Structure 1
Amino acid sequence: MNPKNTPFLVGSTVLTITDPKNNLSFPVLLHYPTLDGSKPTPFGPFIMDVAVDGVLAEGKFPLVLISHGNSGSQYVYRTISTYLATRGFIVAMPEHFGNNRTDNSLSDSVKNLEYRPQHISLIIDYLLDKTTFKQQINPNTIALIGHSFGGYTALAVAGGKPYSMTGEAISTHKDERVKALVIMAPAAGYFSPKSALDQVNIPILLYIATEDIYTPKKWTADVILKGIQNPEQVLLREIKNAGHFSFISPFPDGMKNPSFLPANDPEGFDRVAFHEELPEEIFQYLEEKLTID
């Protein structure tokens, strides 16, 4: 990915993606390799060391998209996104329309189940066709990372045929351009019906947390391993003593309180230390699984 094995700095910019079919738009945060000087920059309550609108470094780079969880944010996987950018990835992180921290009006709706995977494909379309980045993205090395409901999104993009909680078939389309998945505590229950995952045939790095009360193993790993045609394509990582939200980047101390569940972990779990290891592990997996021309 980075032939000199020397980390880049992190460029950062924001795109607006339009969905003309549904008459809506949504922002996408990009992190990418740059040689421009970076500085600590506020993004909401978070600080990231980035070069805002920095020039993309020379080279041909893989594209990775990160899909956040229900009512989540494009900022909360920054430990992963910034690390991958320093290792030569272009990382695109949407704020999912109607299912984010400021507007969660589509939560639990069929529209949300449909929009999320559609919008991932729209982002890929846009990046490969309408941005200055298009000449430097290797279209054969595209991966998708998803946490929680983002894991649902990733499985749908990879060919999964989801069903709503009332048993309604959801209209989605497989995006063949996505070559690998990393899914963390995924909301896989939407793919419980037989044959729902038959068309998912790409490598998957699957993380589950032993203390996850929201997406326990029976609704994540068991569904996926029993549902796909080739379970050998799944690398299962079971994180001891972790909770559902442990895959989110650590929050600033001022946001940590017992009532704010995303900032909390099971007693004794060190989220800061975990996020010093997680991005490197994801990088190593993607470097191995994405075929470079």
Structure 2
Amino acid sequence: MRTLLAVLLFGLSATIAHAAGIKFLLVPQDDNGPALKTVVWTPCAEPAQDLSEGPYVLRGRRDCPTAGERLPLIVISHGHGGSFLGHHDIAEVLADAGFVVAAINHPGDTFSDMSHAADISEFIERPTDIKRLIDYMLTAAPDAKLIDGNRIGFFGFSRGGYTGLVLAGADPDFAHANVPCPDPDLPICQEIRHLQLPAKVFTHDARIKAFVLADPMNVFPQRSDLVNVRAPIQIWASQFGGDGVLPETVHAVAGALPERPDFHVVARSAHFVFLAPCSASMRQRAPELCVDAGGFDRVAFHEQLDEKALQFFRAKLH
């Protein structure tokens, strides 16, 4: 009976929402790390508008009152040098469907702060960043009382996909991973070459019940590295990869997981097709991130990606 009631409430929250409410927040600094710049999308019963945020055009309503209760939570981890707005389209779709969605800029590995991006320490910090985000969303965020802490999911791209696998229980093995190192002078390349590897235990978080991973960076060369990953996972792989992610390593991680993932290969695509379709301003600023080769239709693809991710989270976070 409780399960049926939860499903009915979840369905109701989806029907009353018409837009994504958008709030910009700050997770406070604590003993585990610096403050985290955060954007939160929530179900909103008001009509959507186009909102400009830098080069991004978001679809939603600023500071709209949150519609619904006992709402599932999705947290988002961007890729190398990315932004908490880099996957705003899937966040908008999920929020419109009744989810609370929260994304952060990872300190030291985001577009405005690359101070740790070339260092192995960033790979330690990323999962902790997401754990701190979840802690905040469940306790101190404005909508904390509206979130169901038993229904938490994760979306991650590239290094964000790596972050998700660690949170799910994986333990990295940087010394034996098949990761390109085109510049041997990069700190992370030197650290791996000289086996200056982290001794710190990596952060796992069993509160996350389902994962959608897009072109995840694979530093888990052995099946034993993934043996503790038991949550349901949906994986999306580009055909050609890029930005340090090799296509064969995405297939390898999918094949090595203890439980078979929901696995999708995107034909004729490269790594950055998983970023949200770009505005005209964004295409001018960063064509290497926005313009896909071979006439690939990113807008049409994201309609499929967003819908499949929504279906997956609905099925796994009931």
Q: TM-score, normalised by structure 1?
A: 0.92
Q: Where does residue 217 of structure 1 map in the other structure?
A: 247
Partners of 1:158 and 1:98 lie apart in 2 by 23
Asked if residue 54 in structure 1 is aligned to residue 83 in structure 2, the reply is: no
Query: Which secondary structure state, in structure 2, belongs to the residue aligned with residue 256 of structure 1?
Result: helix
Q: Where does residue 187 of structure 2 map in the other structure?
A: none
Give ranges in structure 1 of 5+ residues lacking alignment: none
Change (3 A) 1:259 1:180: closer
Q: Where does residue 106 of structure 2 map in the other structure?
A: 96
Asked if residue 127 in structure 1 is aligned to residue 127 in structure 2, the reply is: no
What letter is aligned with 2:75? L
Q: Where does residue 221 of structure 2 map in the other structure?
A: 192
Partners of 2:46 and 2:64 lie apart in 1 by 6
Change (3 A) 1:204 1:262: same
The structure with the greater share of residues assigned to helix is 2
Given candidates 59, 63, 81, the residue that maps to 2:73 is 63
Q: Where does residue 84 of structure 1 map in the other structure?
A: 94
Partners of 1:8 and 1:61 lie apart in 2 by 15
Change (3 A) 1:275 1:259: closer
Q: Where does residue 202 of structure 2 map in the other structure?
A: 172
Q: Where does residue 298 of structure 2 map in the other structure?
A: 271
| Cα deviation 1:37-66 (Å, max 9, x = unaligned) | 543221111121322111111222110011
Please list every run of at least 4 consecutive aligned residues from structure 1 whose deviation after the TM superposition is greater than 4 angstroms: none
Query: Which secondary structure state, in structure 1, belongs to the residue aligned with residue 11 of structure 2?
Result: coil
**Structure 1 residue 27: Cα displacement:** 0.6
Partners of 1:72 and 1:39 lie apart in 2 by 24
Query: Which secondary structure state, in structure 2, belongs to the residue aligned with residue 180 of structure 1?
Result: strand
What letter is aligned with 1:63? L
Which has the higher mean CA deviation after the structures are superposed, 158-167 or 79-88?
A: 158-167
| Cα deviation 1:222-268 (Å, max 9, x = unaligned) | 13422x323x2x11101111110001111123433697321122212
Change (3 A) 1:162 1:4: closer
Partners of 2:91 and 2:227 lie apart in 1 by 30
> Is this contact kept in 2: 1:181–1:204, CA < 8 A?
yes
Partners of 1:23 and 1:174 lie apart in 2 by 16
| Cα deviation 1:262-281 (Å, max 9, x = unaligned) | 11222121111111221111
Q: Where does residue 30 of structure 1 map in the other structure?
A: 40
| Cα deviation 1:2-44 (Å, max 9, x = unaligned) | 3375343110101211342255212110001011454322111
What letter is aligned with 2:73? L
> Is this contact kept in 2: 1:8–1:88, CA < 8 A?
no
| Cα deviation 1:114-133 (Å, max 9, x = unaligned) | 11100101111111111231
Partners of 1:4 and 1:16 lie apart in 2 by 26
| Cα deviation 1:169-224 (Å, max 9, x = unaligned) | 55312101000100000101x21245111111010000001122442332112134
Given candidates 273, 278, 285, the residue that maps to 1:246 is 273
> Is this contact kept in 1: 2:254–2:263, CA < 8 A?
no
Percent identity, please.
Answer: 28
What letter is aligned with 1:85? A
Q: Where does residue 186 of structure 2 map in the other structure?
A: none
Structure label with greater radius of gyration: 2
Query: Which secondary structure state, in structure 2, belongs to the residue aligned with residue 32 of structure 1?
Result: strand
Asked if residue 8 in structure 1 is aligned to residue 38 in structure 2, the reply is: no
The count of corresponding residues between Structure 1 and Structure 2 is 287
> Is this contact kept in 2: 1:19–1:122, CA < 8 A?
no
> Is this contact kept in 2: 1:211–1:266, CA < 8 A?
no
**Structure 1 residue 72: Cα displacement:** 0.3
Query: Which secondary structure state, in structure 1, belongs to the residue aligned with residue 132 of structure 2?
Result: helix
What letter is aligned with 1:126? Y
What letter is aligned with 1:210? Q
What letter is aligned with 2:12? P
Partners of 2:281 and 2:33 lie apart in 1 by 38
> Is this contact kept in 1: 2:41–2:92, CA < 8 A?
yes
Which has the higher mean CA deviation after the structures are superposed, 10-19 or 149-158?
A: 10-19
Change (3 A) 1:255 1:49: closer
Query: Which secondary structure state, in structure 2, belongs to the residue aligned with residue 220 of structure 1?
Result: helix
Asked if residue 207 in structure 1 is aligned to residue 216 in structure 2, the reply is: no
> Is this contact kept in 1: 2:21–2:66, CA < 8 A?
yes
